[in-house]
Structure 1
Amino acid sequence: MPQDVRYEPVIAVLLPCYNEELTIAEVVRRFREALPAAAIYVYDNNSRDLTALRARAAGAIVVREPRQGKGNVVRRMFADIEADIYLMADGDGTYAPEDAPQL
């Protein structure tokens, strides 16, 4: 008798950031609540504040992208990260993490 095989897709939340110290920890926390199995990546694009530190403390995987500009960050994220499902949002809280499961 065949057994049910369950496949859990690998989900990556991608958050490009530049000087988002005031909001990034809350954004990471809310994505963690909305998608507990997801890996949350913060790509810091030369922030001059504590964005990377706050993101790491909130549980995100932080990567620094030294080439300035969101296009450089986005290209780097998709080149670096392997996942079945990608969800990209901003680190400033523009998008509601609670909507993520519907996406």
Structure 2
Amino acid sequence: TDILSGYRVFSRRFVKSFPALSAGFEIETEISVHALELRMPCAEVETPYYARPEGSASKLSTYGDGWRILSTILTLYRIERPVLYFGTLGGLLALIAFALAVPLALTYAATGLVPRFPTAILVTGLGIVAALCLFAGLILDTVVRGRREVRRLFYLAQPAPPGGA
């Protein structure tokens, strides 16, 4: 149930299809995402857990490793789900632009003037960047789907281990 610990066994198919991009503790996150994205068979096997021997010290750094794993998760999120990533970013920028535009529009409707011209330029820029983020996410999603299909076909092209999976 914990993707960051445990003993891992990989099939030859998995190893041949896995593009290892990380080198540290965060590789476990990358392995799990790769297996999920390609719909690979996975199983958990209960193993006994023992307390750390007296006098031994952990090599893990709670905050350092945590930040590296969080960074890897965000990077994989951007790479594997670009519509959600860039759509969320574009939505936030559009929301900020809208919040800044409402007082400008109310002032313009009441007086016929735009007294805060720099804010109007900022609103326009934020709106353009928000639209660009959304379209970048849509285009990248098409690219990701194609790459995922190629990775899946490469995985399936490797001979299956005897007995399944």
TM-score grouping bracket, smaller chain normalisation: under 0.3
Answer 1 or 2: which has greater helix percent: 2
TM-score (norm 2): 0.19
Answer 1 or 2: which has greater strand percent: 1
TM-score (norm 1): 0.25
Instruction: State the structure with bigger RCO (CA 8 A, min sep 6), 1 or 2.
Output: 1
